[in-house]
């Protein structure tokens, strides 16, 4: 495939109020760390998408805006062509980011003190939106064996029954462990949730990053019976790195659940969406396919580089093979460092800003999450820095 886009280009993001690069002093007390932490990419969008955004800016008037036919056409183009399902515009509620939508769902479908289940290690705001809203967090710990994660379905059902769980928050593909759940796994989860009246808040924000033989299955690809309990969260914010525009589409096929969600949304004072978020949805989903194809191939090259680097240089670490997402999850427990030593090596010695495994759940303090959505040169620099630091400790 001849290449149209240059993902090797280094764009200086410093001085743009960029969370990933500009807040080292504030958040880590130092400014010399190479950041591979927050799930935010270092690639500029292609001209064809920027042209559409410029056109909207050049109009000069930015009043209240609602999604119209062109918005839903764009959404349907992307999800029907790439993921094989149609979205009924009636079922869509826009939001200001997926996490806001998750918090809205928590308020819509549960009351204070109700139990909500998640599967750690998992994206930490899942736990935060549960506990910050006075709900009880229940964990169905993912099973880790031979460098791969699976679901303990018996524990999943037992925790639901024992705790009268009302909502399950699913992450597919799963951040940080990189699993892309199979059709069979999703059906088992769906069957258990249906049997016990559990609402599935299904976060599919990473759905466009899938590698090799793996195939992404959405809950929308399964038997329509599962839609009764489904609240699906999608957004172009990971695929196109437009999180700063806060787009999100919350798809709720069931009318009763949708009414509850919209009531909670209104109660939070939210009505029209962000104008540039909506423009981004339209531009990205209609013009972005070729760019995303090359992007995924490029990141797959970054993953291959890190897989080999870890094998050659960190013999006691386990590289958890990512089936999806642009995040890699590496287990350093084989070295026998204390949690503090590991943190010291990553930050003070390797000078890397990573997301430490402990923030995804207490059992994974010996893991580190690396964001590989950056030019190859940045990945190489990061792992060379890590090697230098680790070499002083390899025993």
Q: Does 200 contact ligand PLP by CB under 6 A?
A: no
Q: How far apart are CA 292 and CA 49, in angstroms?
A: 12
Instruction: Decide: is 331 part of the binding site for ligand PLP (CB under 6 A).
Output: no
Contacts (Cβ under 8 Å, ≥6 apart) of 140: 117, 118, 119, 151, 152, 155, 156, 159
Least Å distance, CB 357 to ligand PLP, is: 15
* Near ligand PLP by CB under 6 A: residue from 41, 74, 75, 99: 99
- What is the edge-to-edge ordering of all strands in the sheet holding 367-371? 318-320, 327-331, 367-371, 355-356
Question: Is residue 35 within the footprint of ligand PLP (CB under 6 A)?
Answer: no
Taking CB under 6 A as the binding criterion, the range among 97-105, 141-149, 309-317, 385-393 that sits at the site for ligand PLP is 97-105
For 79, the enclosing helix (H) or strand (E) is helix 69-83
Q: In the chain, at which residue ranges do the beta strands (DSSP E only) sit?
A: 34-35, 92-94, 115-118, 136-139, 143-145, 148-150, 165-171, 199-203, 230-234, 249-251, 318-320, 327-331, 352-353, 355-356, 367-371
- Smallest gap from Cβ 355 to ligand PLP, in A, equals 10
Q: Any contact of residue 375 with ligand PLP (CB under 6 A)? A: no
CB 370 within 8 A of CB 330: yes
Is the Cα torsion angle 145, 364, 99, 282 positive or negative in sign? negative
Stretch that binds ligand PLP, among 92-100, 346-354, 365-373, 383-391 (CB under 6 A): 92-100
**Does the N-terminal peptide bond of residue 173 adopt cis geometry, omega within 30 degrees of 0?**
yes
Given 109, 123, 226, 261, the residue binding ligand PLP (CB under 6 A): 123
Q: Does 237 bind ligand PLP (CB under 6 A)?
A: yes
Determine, following the binding rule CB under 6 A, whether residue 382 of this chain makes contact with ligand PLP.
Answer: no
- The pattern of x and - marking residues 144 through 183 that bind ligand PLP according to CB under 6 A reads ---------------------------x---x--------
CB 178 within 8 A of CB 324: yes
Minimum CB separation of residue 131 from ligand PLP in Å reads 17
Helix (H, G, I), strand (E, B) or coil at 70: helix
Q: Does 97 bind ligand PLP (CB under 6 A)?
A: yes
Distance CA 39, CA 78 (A): 22
**Region of 73-81, 95-103, 134-142, 161-169 interacting with ligand PLP (CB under 6 A):** 95-103
Under the binding rule (CB under 6 A), the answer on residue 203 touching ligand PLP is: yes
Stretch that binds ligand PLP, among 11-19, 93-101, 315-323, 363-371 (CB under 6 A): 93-101
Binder of ligand PLP out of 98, 177, 201, 317 (CB under 6 A): 98
Closest CA to 171 of 320, 328, 324: 324
Q: What is the closest distance, in whole angstroms, from the C-beta atom of residue 99 to ligand PLP in the complex? A: 4
**Least distance in angstroms from the C-beta of 95 to ligand PLP:** 8
**Secondary element (H or E) of residue 317:** none
Three-state SS at 23: coil
Q: How far is the CB of 98 from ligand PLP (least distance, A)?
A: 4
Distance CA 320, CA 338 (A): 20
Residue with token string 């939001």: 95
Q: Can you tell me which of 248, 284, 295, 310 binds ligand PLP, judged by CB under 6 A?
A: 248
Q: Is 310 in the site for ligand PLP (CB under 6 A)?
A: no
Q: In whole angstroms, how close is the CB of 182 to ligand PLP at the nearest point?
A: 18
Q: Is 106 one of the binding residues for ligand PLP (CB under 6 A)?
A: no
What is the binding site for ligand PLP (CB under 6 A)? 39, 97-99, 123, 171, 175, 203, 205, 235, 237, 243, 248
């Amino acid at each position: 495939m001849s290449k149209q886009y240059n993902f090797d280009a280094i764009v200086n993001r410093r001085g743009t109020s960029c969370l990933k690069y500009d807040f080292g002093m504030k958040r880590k007390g130092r400014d010399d760390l190479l950041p591979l932490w927050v799930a935010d990419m270092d690639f500029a969008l292609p001209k064809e998408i920027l042209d559409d955004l410029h056109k909207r800016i050049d109009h000069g008037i930015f009043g209240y805006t609602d999604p119209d036919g062109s918005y839903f056409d764009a959404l349907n183009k992307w999800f029907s062509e790439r993921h094989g399902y149609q979205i009924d515009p009636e079922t869509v509620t826009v939001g200001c980011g997926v996490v806001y939508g998750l918090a809205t769902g928590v308020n819509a479908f549960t009351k204070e003190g109700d139990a909500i289940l998640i599967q750690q290690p998992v994206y930490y705001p899942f736990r935060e939106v549960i506990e910050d809203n006075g709900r009880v967090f229940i964990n169905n710990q993912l099973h880790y064996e031979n460098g791969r994660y699976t679901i303990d379905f018996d524990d999943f059902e037992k925790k639901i029954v024992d705790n009268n769980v009302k909502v399950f928050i699913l992450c597919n593909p799963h951040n940080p462990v990189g699993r892309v759940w199979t059709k069979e796994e999703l059906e088992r989860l769906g069957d258990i949730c249906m049997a016990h009246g559990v609402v599935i808040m299904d976060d599919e924000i990473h759905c466009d990053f899938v590698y090799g033989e793996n195939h992404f299955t959405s809950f929308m690809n399964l038997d329509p019976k599962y839609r009764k309990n489904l609240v699906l969260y999608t957004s172009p914010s990971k695929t196109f790195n437009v999180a700063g525009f806060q787009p999100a589409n919350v798809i709720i096929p069931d009318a009763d659940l949708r009414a509850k969600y919209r009531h909670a949304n209104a109660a939070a004072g939210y009505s029209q969406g962000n104008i540039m978020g909506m423009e981004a949805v339209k531009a990205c989903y209609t013009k972005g396919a070729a760019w995303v194809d090359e992007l995924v191939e490029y990141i797959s090259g970054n993953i291959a580089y890190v897989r080999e680097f870890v094998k050659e240089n960190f013999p006691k670490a386990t590289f958890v093979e990512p089936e999806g997402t642009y995040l890699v999850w590496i287990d350093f427990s084989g070295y026998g460092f204390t949690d503090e030593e590991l943190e010291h090596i990553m930050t003070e010695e390797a000078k890397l800003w990573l997301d430490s495994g402990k923030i995804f759940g207490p059992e994974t303090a010996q893991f580190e999450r690396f964001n590989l959505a950056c030019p190859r040169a940045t990945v190489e620099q990061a792992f060379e820095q890590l090697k230098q630091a680790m070499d002083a400790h390899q025993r």
